[in-house]
Structure 1
């Protein structure tokens, strides 16, 4: 075989292995019921859960806990998924800006105990520049070394 053929085969093998690794790390969109079921079965992969912030009968948000003077890297809130399940979500980073303005929230993370621990929060907020369009804001946890 020519050297160029061997190099081509090696490049293709590396590309295929990268695709397999990336596909294995991809997480799924699920409800809280499915996320808890996966955790009970020992599946510890990240999942996406879509929902809205919990409101009381007056339209005010309930269940939000953020005390930056005590721990600025601890934010807890209640998220109601698309099936109506309410679960407490813990996020070990500061509360994202304009969090209360979010029309819809996507949390990425894992079930731990009886709560969902988010590593990333994605928010769909109404755009302040154009009526009727939605902008996406992403808040990622910062890795501490």
Structure 2
């Protein structure tokens, strides 16, 4: 077997290992309860929690408070199991945050019991939904 063939096989094997390890690191959406249990087990990896912002009867978002520096804010979020949790985000509020249908927070629980998000993903209402005509 030629050295070039062996080199090619090694490169392909390394590429397969990288792909498999990347797939193993990809996370799935979970709930605050699962995220809390993972934090108690000492697992400090980022966790993806999906949910909605808490809203009042008129549909207004509740529980948002900006920090004194206006660079960070906290908000209340309801996960898919119905658990309401306060989330801290050390960045400015994303544009259209209060208009989002669903929110995905990527972060972890800190020892003080607060969920700290490193990243926020928003699912905003589609501007392109077909309107119903009567």
Q: How does 1:30-45 map to 2 (within 5 A)?
A: 30-45=30-45
Q: Give the number of aligned pairs.
A: 130
**1:76-95 map, 5 Å:** 76-95=74-93
The alignment partner of 2:124 has SS state of: strand
Alignment match, 1:26: 26
Deviations 1:59-109 (A, max 9, x none): 332210124xx3233121011001110111111111000111011111111
1:55 aligned counterpart, secondary structure: coil
Q: Over aligned residue pairs, what C-alpha RMSD do you find?
A: 1.9
The Cα shift of 1:58 comes to: 4.5
Q: Which has the higher relative contact order, 1 or 2, with Cα contacts under 8 A spaced 6 or more apart?
A: 2
TM-score using structure 2 length: 0.86
Which residues of structure 1 form unaligned runs of 5+?
A: 134-145
Distance 2:43 2:94 in 1: 28
Gaps of 5+ in 2: none
TM-score (norm 1): 0.80
Q: Distance in 2 between matches of 1:23 and 1:131?
A: 33
Matches within 5 A, 1:74-113: 74-112=72-110, 113=112
Structure 1 runs of 4+ with >4 Å offset: none
Distance 2:19 2:38 in 1: 24
Larger gyration radius, structure 1 or structure 2: 2
Comparing both structures, which one devotes a greater share of its residues to strand?
A: 1
